[in-house]
Amino acid sequence: MSVFMLPVEIYRDIEMTISKFWWNSKSGDKKGIHWMSWDRLSRHKSVGGMSFWNFKDFNLALLGKQGWRLLSNPSSLVSRVYKARYFPKVSFLDAKIGNNPIWHSILEANELVVSGVRWRVGTGENIDIVGQPWLDDVRPCIETVSPSLDNNKVASLMSMNHNSWEEEIISE
C-alpha cells in the first residue's frame, strides 16, 4: 500500500472480510447480523465507532509519505532518481503524471501532500511572498493582485535582524 494505489475492489474485499469476521457468529454461517454500517465502524471511538481504518485513506497516507520523502530529502538516492526521471525541471509539487505505475501511484497522493506542506520561513530569502505556502493557516498562500509583491521574498517583510516583522510593510 505504500508503493501502489490499490483498486477500489480490493478495499471493498478487505472491508467485507473484516466485517464478516466481526458479525458472523459461526465460521461457516453467512447469516450474521451487521449491527453497524462500515461508515460507523470506521469512525473514531469517541464518536461511537470502532476506529477501523478507512483503507483508501490509509493507502493515500502511505503514498503521501513517499511523496513527502521525495520533497523533504532531495539528496537521497531515490529522490534524485525520481527527479531525474519524472520531474527534472520542476519540484515534486508541480510534477505531472507519467507512465510508470509506481510514479502514478505516488502522484495520486500529491494533492494530499500539497494541502499540508508549508515552508519553514527561517530567513525567508528563498520564499516568494505570493504563491508559495508559507503561512500556517487555512489559506497558506497569499493571493493578491498587487504587482508590488510579485517576485519579492518573505525576507523583505522582515526587519534587518530577522527577529521581527516590519509592521508598516505588513499593514500596507
Model confidence pTM above 0.85:
no
Greatest alpha-carbon span in the chain: 74
Percent helix / strand / coil, the chain, rounded to 5: 45, 5, 50
Q: Write the DSSP assignment of 43-78 as a string of letters.
A: S-GGGTS-----HHHHHHHHHHHHHHHHHH-TTSHH
Residue type, position 84, single letter: A
User: Percent of the chain having pLDDT more than 90?
Assistant: 13
pLDDT tens figures, 61-97:
999 999 899 888 989 999 999 889 888 888 888 888 8
The phi-psi region of residue 54 (left if phi > 0; otherwise alpha if psi is between -120 and 50; otherwise beta) is beta
